[in-house]
Amino acid sequence: MAGQEQKSSQSREDVEDVEPGAAPAPAAPQASEATQGVDDLLDEIDGVLESNAEEFVRGFVQKGGQ
Amino acid sequence: MSTSEHGPDGLPAGGALRVMGSETEYGIHAPSTPGANATYLSSQVIAAYARLTRERLHASPGAGWDYTDETPLRDARGWSVRRSQAHPDLLTDLEPVLTAEGVALAHGPAEIELDGDQEPALMNLVLGNGARLYVDHAHPEYSSPEVTNPRDAVVWDSAGDAVVLAAVRALASDPEHGPINLYKNNTDGKGASYGSHENYLVPRSVPFSDLVRGLIPFFVSRQLVCGAGRVGIGQDGRTPGFQVSQRADFFEAEVGLETTMRRPIINTRDEPHAVADKYRRLHVIVGDANCSHVANYLKFGTTALVLSLIEAGAAPAIEIHEPVAAMHRLSHDTDLRETVRLLDGRRLTGLELQWIYFEAAAKLAADAGVAAEHGGDGHTATVLRLWERALTALGSDLDAAAGYIEWAAKQMVLEGYRARDGLAWSDPRLGLIDIQWSDVRPERGLANRLMASGRLSRMADDVEIARAAIEPPEDTRAWFRGKSIQRFPANVASASWDSVVFSPPGSYRLQRVPTREPLRGTRALTGGLFESHPDIQGFLDALLGERHT
């Protein structure tokens, strides 16, 4: 079936997307890039975190479920 | 083998294809009304989505639920619990009616007035994509439509996040309701846990004891691949630290019927929602809710492969000494060095356990002819490749794993904060990051933000997921259910997994159409019927005429 073929080629494409660390790079620059990447990420997260962490965490109370 | 064998459900056997589905209970939080009743808040989420659907369809907001075939007290080991002895949480076959009294009895004081001016509190919806959206205990729950493969499981599970996000948006812009936010996680870090369940169709002919034996060592170690990560150790999270799984600490038994207390690694609820002497529905309650697509994909894909191993009698012969404690210990060791003791005396790490299952699954799939990249079943090769890559990365390069393994990604963020700001594990900012990780809003949810910037891999884009929030999968009975609701919203009285109940125009008699074969009612089998009969009467005549001949 055409639909199925399409689906399987789709999932093959997806795999390439999730190929981690596909481009090999020299060790030292990669390490500093990674550090820079985490710093950028933390800066981004700083901007969206709920303002009062203590109050938020205390107020997040759930009833048990399944 | 040139042609692959087929299972009783008609799908190729030996690989990752199988009828499956997900259930997600969302954490719920109304920041402007602290202490508000969670059951009532949950019903507001369902009602908000019903209003959106009504606006879109200009008609009834989807069907109610048909409880006729719910049997939550039947135990897969061959007996039933007497109703009078069952905990009320187990009585999931009764239509919950939200009265102020009921709310007060179930979940503390009711702070709401349910008088005649208010819209009746809506507890249950069947959606046009074949899913169910309802209030389960004190959480909104989305149960995905039945799908046949792990990729569709991810797509239609993510569709649930899109569905509840739409409700969150509607409530935020409605001055009468105020914001209600939802979290795709499994614990509040204070002792409460709520589930994310998986369902898999399994032939009735497979002895339940084989499932128990084959699955326990797999479930004890599966969290290393698909755990979502959690700040805090122990059910109440009081011991500072970080662990692999949201759910692991809440499991206290190996096998049992309960889902809300003394939770078992293997749940024995035996409600097949299908032809009962042919199938059982394996109800898996041990998993974490996943924001990471790849972790979610591997959760469904690897479990489907292990079920194929068990069906083929090829499951690894492993028995773990004290599996509940072993599961806790593996979750608590993010260095992945912890070992578990087997009854034969061996000691293996969680990764070694996973490798044993991987090797057996890869061999079975190859032997069955379903594992080839080209000419296989279209899915098993991908599951095997991603599983192998995940196990390799977890054993050697956790930074690489952080691109798709959810707990590793969360740990990377938390360790970044700890290093930058010198935070102890007990710092509330780390607890906040853990919770906000799973906020379903793209601008607030940290996993969503990591996916948007490419730091966490995606397997489906927003367009495909938005489409799945509207359209049912084409290759299961969910197609018939969803299309019936889409086409004839005024004439579907209720629906369930194994029925659609029509109310024909001009008649008081309801017409219940059973859908007990999960792979019938597909687009291929019923699409023509919908196309040929745009009106309900002609549709029912043709449908029922066909069924009787």
Q: What is the DSSP letter of B146?
A: P
Token pair in block for residue B67:
């409880």
Work out the minimum CA distance from A1 to partner chain B, whole angstroms: 11
Is the model's pLDDT at A55 over the cut of 60?
A: yes
Sign of torsion over alpha carbons B169, B170, B173, B179? negative
Q: Give domain status of residue B294, yes or no.
A: yes
Of A34, A45, A66, which has the smallest distance from its Cβ to B137's Cβ?
A: A66
Of B23, B192, B431, which has the smallest distance from its Cβ to A63's Cβ?
A: B192
Q: Between residues A44 and A28, which one has the greater pLDDT?
A: A44
Q: Are residues B289 and B347 in the same domain?
A: yes
Q: Between residues B60 and B363, which one has the greater pLDDT?
A: B363
B393 touches chain A (CB under 8 A): yes
Q: Are residues B332 and B479 in the same domain?
A: no
Q: Between residues B198 and A33, which one has the greater pLDDT?
A: B198
Chain mean pLDDT for chain B: 90
Contact A45 B449 (CB under 8 A): yes
Q: Of B5, B27, B255, nearest to B138 (Cα)? A: B27
- CB < 8 Å from A in window 102-121 of B: 107
Res B56: pLDDT: 74
Q: How do residues B208-238 score in pLDDT, each as one tens digit?
A: 999 999 999 999 999 999 999 999 999 999 9
Q: Are residues B483 and B535 in the same domain?
A: yes
Q: Are residues B220 and B265 in the same domain?
A: yes
DSSP E strands, B158-235? 181-183, 196-203, 230-233
Chain B residues touching A36 at Cβ < 8 A: none
CB B62 within 8 A of CB B128: yes
Mean pLDDT of B493-499: 92
Q: What is the DSSP letter of B475?
A: T
Report the C-alpha gap between B306 and B130 in whole angstroms. 27
Res B345: pLDDT: 96
- Which amino acid, B202? V
Q: How many domains does chain B have?
A: 2
Q: Are residues B448 and B497 in the same domain?
A: no
Report the C-alpha gap between B108 and B103 in whole angstroms. 7
Of B259, B260, B378, which has the smallest distance from its Cβ to A7's Cβ?
A: B378
Tokens 């072993």 label which residue?
A: B326
Contact B449 A49 (CB under 8 A): no
User: If you count them, how many residues does chain A have?
Assistant: 66
Res B537: pLDDT: 93
Report the C-alpha gap between B398 and B384 in whole angstroms. 19
Give the end of a domain, one of B410, B426, B454.
B454
Closest chain B CA to residue A9: B378
Report the C-alpha gap between B469 and B464 in whole angstroms. 9
Contact A53 B428 (CB under 8 A): yes
Report the C-alpha gap between B128 and B343 in whole angstroms. 49
Is the model's pLDDT at B83 over the cut of 80?
A: no
Contact B197 A66 (CB under 8 A): yes
Structural domain containing residue B317: 1-10+201-454
Is the model's pLDDT at B103 over the cut of 80?
A: no
Q: Are strands B499-502 and B511-514 parallel, antiparallel or unpaired?
A: antiparallel
Q: How do residues A1-36 score in pLDDT, each as one tens digit?
A: 333 444 444 444 444 444 443 333 334 444 556 667
* Those residues with Cβ within 8 angstroms of residue B98's Cβ, 6 or more apart along the chain or in another chain: B39, B40, B43, B114, B121, B123, B135
Give the end of a domain, one of B454, B485, B517.
B454
Mean pLDDT of B538-546: 88
CB B11 within 8 A of CB B519: yes
Contact A57 B38 (CB under 8 A): no
Q: Are residues B348 and B241 in the same domain?
A: yes
Contact B188 A61 (CB under 8 A): yes
* Entry pTM: 0.89
Q: Which of B75, B93, B117, B136 is catalytic?
A: B136
First to last CA, chain B: 38
Report the C-alpha gap between B505 and B503 in whole angstroms. 6
Q: Give domain status of residue B234, yes or no.
A: yes
Between the alpha carbon of residue B277 and those of residues B25, B128, B201, B210, the distances in Å are 30, 29, 12, 18
Q: Give domain status of residue B253, yes or no.
A: yes
Backbone angles phi, psi at B59, to 5 degrees: -160, -160
Q: Are residues B229 and B258 in the same domain?
A: yes
Is the model's pLDDT at B495 over the cut of 80?
A: yes
Of A15, A48, A50, which has the smallest distance from its Cβ to B443's Cβ?
A: A48
Res B123: pLDDT: 80
Of B29, B89, B432, which has the smallest distance from its Cβ to A49's Cβ?
A: B432
Token pair in block for residue B37:
């009743």
Sign of torsion over alpha carbons B308, B312, B316, B320? positive
Work out the minimum CA distance from B459 to partner chain A, whole angstroms: 6
Q: Give domain status of residue B206, yes or no.
A: yes
- CB < 8 Å from A in window 251-270 of B: 259-260
Q: Are residues B445 and B488 in the same domain?
A: no
Q: Are residues B216 and B324 in the same domain?
A: yes
Contact B400 A20 (CB under 8 A): yes
Q: Are residues B420 and B392 in the same domain?
A: yes
Q: Of B383, B405, B384, B381, nearest to B393 (Cα)? A: B405
Q: Is B136 one of the catalytic residues?
A: yes
Is the model's pLDDT at B364 over the cut of 90?
A: yes
Q: Give domain status of residue B461, yes or no.
A: no
Q: Give domain status of residue B3, yes or no.
A: yes
Q: Give domain status of residue B136, yes or no.
A: no
B458 touches chain A (CB under 8 A): yes
Q: Are residues B485 and B415 in the same domain?
A: no
Give the end of a domain, one of B454, B483, B516.
B454
Q: Are residues B427 and B399 in the same domain?
A: yes
Residues in A whose CB is inside 8 Å of some CB of B read 3-5, 7-8, 10-12, 14-15, 17-18, 20-21, 34, 37-39, 41-42, 44-45, 48-50, 53-54, 56-66
Report the C-alpha gap between B368 and B300 in whole angstroms. 20
Res B508: pLDDT: 85
Q: Give domain status of residue B401, yes or no.
A: yes
Tokens 């196990």 label which residue?
A: B391
**What percentage of chain B exceeds 90 in pLDDT?**
78
